A and B are shown apart, each in its own frame.
Chain A
Amino acid sequence: MSEDVIKELLKTNPEKGVEALFQEYYAWLCRVVYRIIPDGAVAEDLVQDLFLGLWKRRDNLEIRISLKAYLRRSAVNKSLNYIRDRRLQFEDDSHYENVASKLQGVEAQMAAAEMQQKIDRSIDGLPERCRIVFVLSRFEEMSYQEIADHLDISIKTVENQVSRALKQLRKDLL
């Protein structure tokens, strides 16, 4: 279903509209969040929360920009707020290793393609801050300045983290 049709439906028949919205974007938004916060349950909770927020405001919701861009930005903001409020301050780079290895166990069971796993493992293996900086740059098309602002770190740090990530990826994947 096209964006415009969904937008129209949200106005004329919100129940149907939100269902279409769910079918079209829920999984995609979960993946957007999941890339930033590698915890499936949290990702689903945050996206669920995003939809509930939209639903509550359905009567005066006027989205004039692209629906997809709007949803994606909301999801990224939610993720970053979540990280900030949870005080994941990246003080300890090693902390992340545990989450990553736990995650790999789950992922392995999914029997995804070999290369896919290799990529995920390589990125998941990056220290937390490095990984998030990389994800925001690569997937969310945020500038270094935006990333620095959101994570409250310097541009220099952002640059360092991106090149650190690329170095690791080169080693693992090339």
Chain B
Amino acid sequence: MRKNKNNEWDKLNAIEKHEAGYLWDKTSSYKSSFEPDVDKAFARFQKATSEQASPAKVRSLSRYTFLRVAAAILFIVGAFGLWQHFNAKPPTEVFATTATPEEILLDDGTFVTLNKNSSLHYPAAFKGGKRVVELEGEGFFTVAKNPQKPFIIKTAKTQVRVLGTVFNVRAYRQEDFVEVAVKEGKVAFGTRNSANHLTLTADERGTYAINANKLIEEKSGLNEWGWKDRQLNFKAARMSEIKTILERFFGVKINLEGTFEGCTLTASFGKVKTIDDVLNGIAAGINVSIRKDSPNKRYTIIGHCQ
């Protein structure tokens, strides 16, 4: 007899061990005779994927697909002053990453890509009038649209409140800022204990400077969610900007030496693996050279621009 992971059956077994064991084994074949036609199903799958409008093919189910990203018209409901009331039940499950990003599908269909060294606390099932999770580190959220149940992400100091949209949250403990960058839709971003907040829409970024206790709104442009797809895009970027982006992306230190006047870079890097690849690409594109100092994680870009 196979043991169940949870103890519930074991409890029962204590009462009627023999019988329960027998039933456990017997029932293992429940509905095992159901044999779908795999080839037919795969043909259907291929048809659906070959047609661009594939979501329509499964229209009866499309509202269950977690990738059905919300349309952009969203609005913020309720006053931020009421946030204190949102500290309902503590989230129960923890999902943590170490060296590599991982994906997690929440109960409501919300999809989260969790960057490395991050953790997400969430309930097995969202109950009550809102969906609350806690984040430490960085995550890219595709929140399932549900205007009746706002989705709230708490970090140590801030919270982000949305109804259904796509955005990136960066809140690493060792950094002195929390940052929210919006890809689609609209989110409200503020501190946990005050009504102050920013309303951010597509291509906007909000930064909370923890020590200064200040919320700052800017245009996004730091490749905020580039880590998710390992992509970097530069549009007429100045070297100081490139330095910031690469330092964030790879968690390294970069020094700048020489002159960069008049040097800007427009380039896209896909499937980025190492910083060396990117730096070599940059050196091939504009008039700079690269020095890698040992120990690793220390790079110098030397500019020869006039």
Contacts and interface: CB of A to CB of B under 8 A. Distances in A.
A24 B36 CA distance: 13
A89 B2 CA distance: 32
B293 interface: no
A1 interface: no
Contacts of B101: 62
A42 to B, nearest CB: 9
A120 B36 contact: no
A60 B228 contact: yes
Nearest to B123: A149
A62 B36 contact: no
B250 interface: no
State the majority secondary structure of interface residues on A: helix
Interface string B96-140: 010011110101010101000000000111010000000000000
Contacts of B109: 81
Contacts of A144: 6, 8
Contacts of B22: 173-174
Interface string A15-51: 0001100110011001100110010100111111101
Contacts of B23: 166, 169-170, 173-174
A31 B125 contact: no
Interface in B1-42: 4-6, 8-9, 12, 19-20, 22-24, 26-27, 29-36, 38, 41-42
Contacts of A60: 113, 228-229
- Sorted nearest first, the 6 A-B pairs with minimum C-beta distance are A149-B125, A143-B6, A30-B36, A112-B33, A49-B61, A141-B5
Given A48-B41, A64-B97, 11 more contacts: A22-B45, A40-B34, A52-B54, A85-B64, A116-B32, A137-B4, A146-B125, A149-B124, A149-B127, A152-B125, A162-B8
